[in-house]
Amino acid sequence: MDKRKAKDLLSEEVARIGKAVSSPKRLELLELLAQGEKTVDALAAEAGIDIKLASAHLKVLKAARLVVAERDGRFIAYRLSGEDVSALWVKLRTVAEEHLVELKVAMDGIFSAPEKLDAETRRSLMSKARRGDVVVIDVRPAAEYDNGHLPFARSMPLDEIRQRIKELPADKDIVAYCRGPFCMMSAEAVALLQEHGYRAQKIADGTAEWQAAGLPLTTA
Amino acid sequence: MDKRKAKDLLSEEVARIGKAVSSPKRLELLELLAQGEKTVDALAAEAGIDIKLASAHLKVLKAARLVVAERDGRFIAYRLSGEDVSALWVKLRTVAEEHLVELKVAMDGIFSAPEKLDAETRRSLMSKARRGDVVVIDVRPAAEYDNGHLPFARSMPLDEIRQRIKELPADKDIVAYCRGPFCMMSAEAVALLQEHGYRAQKIADGTAEWQAAGLPLTTA
DNA sequence: CGCATATTCCAACGAATATTAGAATAATGC
DNA sequence: GCATTATTCTAATATTCGTTGGAATATGCG
């Protein structure tokens, strides 16, 4: 029967996407690229791998059309080929979080307070932020903030908080977010702020999670 | 820095899900399981592979916690471990459909009319079905229909259509669906109905797509 | 108990993959 | 044009994965 061959062909094509997301390193690259366009250089440095290896992995992602490359002067910038790729990364991660006990255990060991958000919490956070009852800070590097951020959030990169801490109101609740549930920057920011007497907490959402929940981002 | 190790650990866990969905055969098994619980036997037969191989692939899926097995008498029935797994399959497929030119070409070669649905089309289909202006038929095996089906749809398995064709109204539009965009049953059903003078068309959605679009199923 | 059926386990092979090192390419700036 | 920087390509390695065949396990039935 020829139906078999047709079906195999279709499954094989989808498996190209599956293969692309079957490597830990590539998933980390996707998470980074979900924050915006980045050079091979920057990706390798942030993922803690050799540039050659990063290049090889990016080639695989490109072959699966999950990312596109564009030369920008001497550098080559990679970016996700669409919003749906970011959503796929979120879906993979949430399925893993839901079903893999090992991942739950690992996360409990790394993050003291998970702070997962549901639709209602997200909504109430936004109305509080709109009224100014809480200050939402984006602790990622400024370039990532510029690429898109939560509504009403202000940029306060982790490595600038020490110097700029005076800019934050001491009498208000501060909510920090970063790249998502696997990112440790918001936790560090919260620790730093609490040391200085601020009422700070983190949320697990990053821009990818926010967008996957159907909520809009602000692109400055 | 220890952050690296933590991050690697988290990525590795998610990659377990990625690895599980990196094989064409396993994806096909997931598509089948999205239609409901099935035995190893049935899965192997429908996927066109050896039982041993099916068992091996199911073991991988089970290790990634995407499926759960339960012994039922002499048989072992597998089922998806959650609705989110079905949604992951849909997401993988839609990303592939969106970005892989090769897949688009392959689908154009296999299916003459794609009939993708958007939110508005789905809504209008349902109101027409509710009013009885169209007859929605589920051409999958009866067991899959029983496991969950589109609202207002009636079961009319592909291999029973010939005998039961008189049950269908000749003066109404008939809309057939099956397991999803990769499934060929609805196309065959439509061809058969049109041969007999019925006004029939297919839609790409299966129950997984319907559910992933946020719409409810009916479980008989 | 012993036989039939359904499924898994084990071993083995070739194919595909991740990683590293070294050479090659491509654009920039003097 | 030449050195510099960023990236990719090629080749080589160890490892993992898909697949198949044969043995083992578990359940139901007479």
Q: Both tokens of residue B92?
A: 């993988």
Residue B70: Cβ-neighbour burial (10 angstroms; 0-12, 13-18, 19+): exposed
Which helix (H) or strand (E) segment holds residue A76: the answer is strand A75-80
Q: Which amino acid is at A153?
A: A
What is the distance in angstroms measured between the alpha-carbon CA of A52 and the sugar C1' of C23?
13
Q: Both tokens of residue A182?
A: 């696997």
Interface test with A, best of B1, B9, B14, B184 (most A CBs within 10 A): B14
Output the pLDDT for position A3. Answer: 87
Strands A173-177 and A200-202: parallel
d(CA A58, CA A61): 5
Provide the edge-to-edge strand list for the sheet that holds A67-72.
Answer: A38-39, A75-80, A67-72
Query: What number is the average pLDDT over the span B4-29?
Result: 96
Q: Both tokens of residue B61?
A: 């899926």
Residue written as token pair 């199923």: B217
Percent of chain B with pLDDT over 70: 99
d(CA B220, CA B217): 9
Q: What is the pLDDT of residues B76-96, one digit of tens each?
A: 999 999 999 999 999 999 999
Asked if pLDDT for residue B115 goes beyond 80, the answer is: no
Closest partner residue to A14 (CB to CB) among B10, B87, B93 is B93
CB contact under 8 A, A95 and B103: no
d(CA A38, CA A79): 7
What is the distance in angstroms measured between the alpha-carbon CA of B72 and the sugar C1' of D28?
11
Query: What number is the average pLDDT over the span A180-188?
Result: 95
Cβ A129 vs Cβ A196: under 8 Å = no
Considering only CA atoms, name the residue closest to the C1' of nucleotide D18.
Answer: B53
Q: What is the pLDDT of residues B118-146, one digit of tens each?
A: 889 999 999 999 999 999 999 999 999 99
Is nucleic acid strand C under 7 Å from A162's C-beta? no
pLDDT-based confidence at A116, cuts 50/70/90? confident
CB contact under 8 A, A100 and B17: yes
Asked if pLDDT for residue B3 goes beyond 90, the answer is: no
Q: What is the pLDDT of residues A41-61, one digit of tens each?
A: 999 999 999 999 999 999 999
What is the nearest CA distance from A34 to chain B, expressed in angstroms? 15
Query: Of A41, A17, A51, A44, which is closest to residue A29 (Cα–Cα)?
Result: A44
For A9, the closest chain B residue by CA position comes to B106
d(CA A202, CA A189): 8
What is the distance in angstroms measured between the alpha-carbon CA of B59 and the sugar C1' of D19?
15
pTM of the model: 0.94
A32 against B115, higher pLDDT: A32
Query: What value does the mean pLDDT of chain A take?
Result: 95
Output the pLDDT for position B114. Answer: 67
Cβ A34 vs Cβ A207: under 8 Å = yes
Closest partner residue to B12 (CB to CB) among A18, A24, A184 is A24
Cβ A139 vs Cβ A189: under 8 Å = yes
CB contact under 8 A, B15 and A4: no
The DSSP 8-state label assigned to residue A220 in this structure reads -
Q: Both tokens of residue B161?
A: 């259509």
Q: What is the pLDDT of residues A72-113, one digit of tens each?
A: 889 999 999 999 999 999 999 999 999 999 999 999 999 887
Please state the three-class secondary structure of chain B as a single string. CHHHHHHHHHHHHHHHHHHHCCCHHHHHHHHHHCCCCEEHHHHHHHHCCCHHHHHHHHHHHHHCCCEEEEEECCEEEEEECCHHHHHHHHHHHHHHHHHCHHHHHHHHHHCCCCCCCCHHHHHHHHHHHHHCCEEEEECCCHHHHHHCECCCCEECCHHHHHHHHHHCCCCCEEEEECCCCCCCHHHHHHHHHHHCCCCEEECCCCHHHHHHCCCCCECC
d(CA A24, CA A210): 23
Is nucleic acid strand C under 7 Å from B74's C-beta? yes
Q: Is A183 a catalytic residue?
A: no
How many residues comprise chain B? 220
Residue A62: Cβ-neighbour burial (10 angstroms; 0-12, 13-18, 19+): middle
Indicate which residue of A54, A174, A178, A185 is catalytic.
A178
Residues 6+ apart with CB under 8 A from A130: A151, A152
Which residues are registered as beta bridge partners of A201? A175
Q: Which amino acid is at B178?
A: C
Is nucleic acid strand C under 7 Å from A53's C-beta? yes
What is the distance in angstroms measured between the alpha-carbon CA of B213 and the sugar C1' of C26?
46
DSSP assignment of A186-201 equals HHHHHHHHHHTT--EE
CB contact under 8 A, A110 and B16: no
Query: What number is the average pLDDT over the span B23-28?
Result: 98
- Strand D, nucleotides < 7 Å from a protein CB: these are 5-10, 17-23, 26-29
CB contact under 8 A, A22 and B22: yes
Chain B residues within 8 A of A9 when measuring between CB atoms = 106
Choose the weakest-confidence range: A115-124, A155-164, B129-138, B194-203: A115-124
Residue A21's φ and ψ, nearest 5 degrees, are -100, 20
Q: How crowded is residue B107: how many other Cβ atoms within 10 Å of its Cβ?
A: 18
Residues 6+ apart with CB under 8 A from A173: A128, A133, A134, A135, A199, A200, A201
